[in-house]
A and B are shown apart, each in its own frame.
Chain A
């Protein structure tokens, strides 16, 4: 293989540094689409920017690609600022949401397009195109036009086209958004494989949290133009930094409570007369009103077969207000003292007694699964 676009550092990914990146579209309107984003994306990392629409994730990606100019801040690739560099010189692969395949060119011409721009001779081009199509499992599709392919196949062609010139950085803007669920799951695995095979840096934008959790090394959760939290999927799920992350990734229960004591990284807070212990990543003080969060699948009914140890668990008295059997699990809607709704998910088993609506019960969950946000 040739070293097209490898900048002499073959086989490794580019590192990307975003420093206090800002984008304001309209000077009269003070709202910032991207508001002070700083991120260090490591060489060879699969980083996902996850957030609701309007959170600034796509704008950030477009600035890295060079289609938007930052209002303030800097973008450095391998330590060199690229802000002043036009997109066609950045040597970054990009896969667009709707694939953006050229409808007037065949698959082969589409994939060969970036090579043609780089003056790669025809014979070499044909060889590289064939390799790229092989990589995305579409050998022999070269002579077809994009309109003759299914959505999933078009998506693969778009990926082949974006990596055929061996960029060290690949940007993807919701590349699976237009596909049905089954296909999306297959392609998620394929993206991971591709990332492992190529060893280059991936920056992936999606609003689908499941997709982000499945594929990424790290996730940057975006909200209102800011990074709400950066971390591994486990970090974000188990130790959300703030209420937005806890609510956006997975399902969360929230209990408003008043802090009664702080010891080391643990906090004791009072909810409706019940003391609840929680992990506290930030600083807090006695008397402060805080929000405690926990995941529905980490709650259990604390009677009968429950075998947890008292010292490491929180307990709360609740009333069952809704019970739904959903095959692999049962989903209960519970109500605590002052009307706070709590969701509990229990793996279903014929051996576990189902709770009836109106029944009073006690639930328990691990202190390690209780986070102050």
Chain B
């Protein structure tokens, strides 16, 4: 009896431990004072963070990643939002097909996408340019934006748009004053996911970042292959913190969106 009730908690605990332990190890190692990767660390210090922040070989890829991710956010959010709005207005049969096509970059194995992009871009001499990284990552990020905005749209009462039109708002005014503010949480969540998608992406970067557009994950990969010191742990920890913060922000936005939706549906009840 007591064992039966303890079992689920134990299983969940083990799963969480299994998932979180490597991250915890990385975080601890990043504060190590040793000159080599070892666990547990002999003493603690910030020397590997200093190493990271003072080394242009690390900082340059970091800036490339940030710039690429920001450009991806702008492009993917714009395109993904438009796509979601368009798909929502399609007849049902077409909607399924269009949604499937838009989501295909998530379904096709990453390595296949990467090879395809590599061949396509090399034909136009794009490989190794930041533009190539932005375009490729935008393709990967758009599905996240579409999914998120579509979810927001489905929570909106279609009568709100009709009400706006009946009150004299042109279709344009209806979009900017009613639809857009209502799907805004979904758009922002989509934008955050677009950032994370680009910032964390490695496979496509391996193929097309060349030497001219080395991103942070690519730099980390190279570092692991050629020489290894605890700087990688510091970089990893920073990346984890950033990603976690963005995920947290996305979660808060979703919460807020749910509250608004609750209001609309309670009015309908």
Which among B157, B168, B182, B263 is the interface contact of A88 at CB below 8 angstroms? B168
With A67-B162, A102-B178: A117-B168 Cβ-Cβ less than 8 Å: yes
Within 8 Å CB of B157, what residues of A?
98, 100
Q: Is A239 an interface residue (CB 8 A)?
A: no
B162-A101 in contact (CB<8A)? no
Q: Is A103 an interface residue (CB 8 A)?
A: yes
Within 8 Å CB of A70, what residues of B?
none
A178-B166 in contact (CB<8A)? no
Q: Is B164 an interface residue (CB 8 A)?
A: yes
Q: In the complex, A102 Cα to B267 Cα: how many Å?
A: 11
Q: Which residue of B lies closest to A117 (CB)?
A: B168
With A88-B165, A98-B268, A102-B178: A147-B263 Cβ-Cβ less than 8 Å: yes
Q: In the complex, A2 Cα to B241 Cα: how many Å?
A: 58
Q: Which residue of B lies closest to A65 (CB)?
A: B166
A87-B165 in contact (CB<8A)? yes
Within 8 Å CB of B168, what residues of A?
88-89, 91, 114, 117-118, 165
In the complex, number of A-B residue pairs with CB atoms less than 8 Å apart: 86
Q: In the complex, A103 Cα to B181 Cα: how many Å?
A: 10
Q: Is B6 an interface residue (CB 8 A)?
A: no
For chain B residues 219-253, which have a beta carbon within 8 Å of chain A? none
With A65-B166, A88-B165, A93-B166: A100-B263 Cβ-Cβ less than 8 Å: no
A87-B166 in contact (CB<8A)? yes
With A88-B168, A91-B168, A117-B173: A103-B162 Cβ-Cβ less than 8 Å: no
Interface size class for chain A? Answer: 35 or more
A103-B166 in contact (CB<8A)? no
Within 8 Å CB of A87, what residues of B?
162, 165-166
For chain A residues 59-107, which have a beta carbon within 8 Å of chain B? 65-67, 86-94, 96-104
Q: Is B15 an interface residue (CB 8 A)?
A: no
A178-B269 in contact (CB<8A)? yes
Q: Is A113 an interface residue (CB 8 A)?
A: yes
Q: In the complex, A94 Cα to B164 Cα: how many Å?
A: 10
| Proximity string of chain A (142-172) to chain B, C-beta cutoff 8 Å, 1 when within and 0 when not | 0001110001001000000110010000010
Within 8 Å CB of B170, what residues of A?
88, 117
For chain B residues 149-169, which have a beta carbon within 8 Å of chain A? 157, 159-160, 162-169
Q: Which residue of A lies closest to B159 (CB)?
A: A100
With A114-B167, A117-B167: A96-B162 Cβ-Cβ less than 8 Å: yes
Q: Is B266 an interface residue (CB 8 A)?
A: yes
B163-A100 in contact (CB<8A)? yes
Separation in Å of the A114 CB from the closest CB of chain B?
A: 4
| Proximity string of chain B (1-27) to chain A, C-beta cutoff 8 Å, 1 when within and 0 when not | 000000000000000000000000000
Separation in Å of the A29 CB from the closest CB of chain B?
A: 15
Within 8 Å CB of A91, what residues of B?
168
B269-A103 in contact (CB<8A)? no
Within 8 Å CB of B159, what residues of A?
96-98, 100
A154-B267 in contact (CB<8A)? yes
B169-A113 in contact (CB<8A)? yes
Q: In the complex, A162 Cα to B178 Cα: how many Å?
A: 16
Q: In the complex, A278 Cα to B1 Cα: how many Å?
A: 80
Q: In the complex, A171 Cα to B217 Cα: how many Å?
A: 60
Separation in Å of the B32 CB from the closest CB of chain A?
A: 50
Separation in Å of the B259 CB from the closest CB of chain A?
A: 8
For chain B residues 62-89, which have a beta carbon within 8 Å of chain A? none
B166-A88 in contact (CB<8A)? yes
Q: In the complex, A165 Cα to B167 Cα: how many Å?
A: 8
Within 8 Å CB of A171, what residues of B?
166
Q: Which residue of B lies closest to A161 (CB)?
A: B167
Q: In the complex, A102 Cα to B259 Cα: how many Å?
A: 14
Q: Is B35 an interface residue (CB 8 A)?
A: no
Most buried by B among A97, A101, A154: A101
B267-A146 in contact (CB<8A)? yes
Q: Which residue of A lies closest to B173 (CB)?
A: A117
Separation in Å of the A325 CB from the closest CB of chain B?
A: 37
Which among B166, B177, B267 is the interface contact of A101 at CB below 8 angstroms? B267
6 cross-chain CB contacts under 8 A:
A87-B162, A96-B159, A100-B163, A103-B260, A103-B263, A165-B167
- A-side interface residues toward B, CB under 8 Å? 65-67, 86-94, 96-104, 113-114, 117-118, 145-147, 151, 154, 161-162, 165, 171, 178
Across the A-B interface, the 8 shortest Cβ-Cβ residue pairs? A147-B263, A114-B167, A100-B163, A117-B168, A94-B166, A98-B268, A100-B159, A87-B165
